[in-house]
Structure 1
Amino acid sequence: MQIKSSQQQERPFPGWFWWVPVGLLAGLLLLLILGPEERTLGGGIRSVYVHVGLIWTGLVGFMVTAVLGLGLLITQKQAWLRWLSPVGWVALGFYAAGVFMSMVASADNWGAVFLQEPRMAASLNGLAVATIMLILGSWQPWLRVRGALSASIIFILFWFNFSAELVLHPRDPITTSQATSIQFTFLFVTALFVGLAVWIIMLLRKTA
């Protein structure tokens, strides 16, 4: 029988695990440097790439949170709860970063940050509500209530965003773009951010 050293037993991750975020961030930087510019925005589209990638990653995270919340609501099993907390908070972190980057993109492309712009106001309101619901959920001793709160976040965010009037913000910068290269850059940036979110979730789950 082989006896592992104490150092091997204490290491929860293999060595390559710590290189994953380095590779993802390097790929992201490369995409931002080499990614195509847009005819109207020019180089200002780079901040939009980051903004959209972060927002979409946050929304994907909240979709997964909704599935986990529904699972907890129906079954009340701890297995759902163990994933619910890290996924929800990581989703919130990426969504919050995306809202912040929308301000950077606004200043970069419009020359100022318009907090009263309907889509910006909707994003800020959605961020506040999502934060409150995650905090309230973490205080709940009733698993079904926590599951219901977590599952409802994505629907509230969608309602805020789709009900907001479009003034400066475009409906969808990806599907409305005529350049396939720009569309693919948006998707690749989002995929890299999703990969980073998964890495953070795995780290939190293992170290919790």
Structure 2
Amino acid sequence: EEAIAPVITAKIPINVKNTNAPADDGTWIVECREREDHPLVGVAAKGGFTKITLHKLMLFKSIGIRHGLMTMMRVFGVRPAFSLFGVDSIVWIFDTNQASDSVVEAMSQRLKDEFDLDAIEIERGCAVLGVVGAFVNEEPSLLSTVSGALGEAKIGMNFVNYGSSPISLLVGVSEEQAAEAVQVLYRALFA
């Protein structure tokens, strides 16, 4: 992921090939795409994540609490890859390899004690599913199609991040269901 950053910065198009089907066209990563009838280009999933949910009534009424919580997590070596914010909660998703069970337990207790949190929930074995393409955030039925297809397949969503990026919709699912979720969404979006 980090390896492509300099190439993107230099505005060099990247052609990502499927190692199982190298003769196929693959997916192009380019600076700007033209609007097409079907702007979606792919679905992928990545596992190996842990989700931590912090709860406190009126959490964001406390000035600077988000920064304080993030600083404390960094003390424990945890750097979230994804963030979701509510009035009374924060959800951070981070690479499970960043912290052992004992480190996560110690971090959770310290966060709860120092910030007087009401509750903390930890969920390991999470995957992040991405639906990508141009103008994803402008597709009026995309979210309902994704949630409907996953719901029909009995695949639970533990978070959704839609609208914050023009090129992706992110959905949290269990690692156990990630491969099936990719197949379900390919059928729903590209069949």
TM beyond 0.5: no
**Greater share of residues in strand:** 2
Identify the structure with the greater helix proportion: 1
Q: Structure 2 length normalisation: TM-score?
A: 0.25
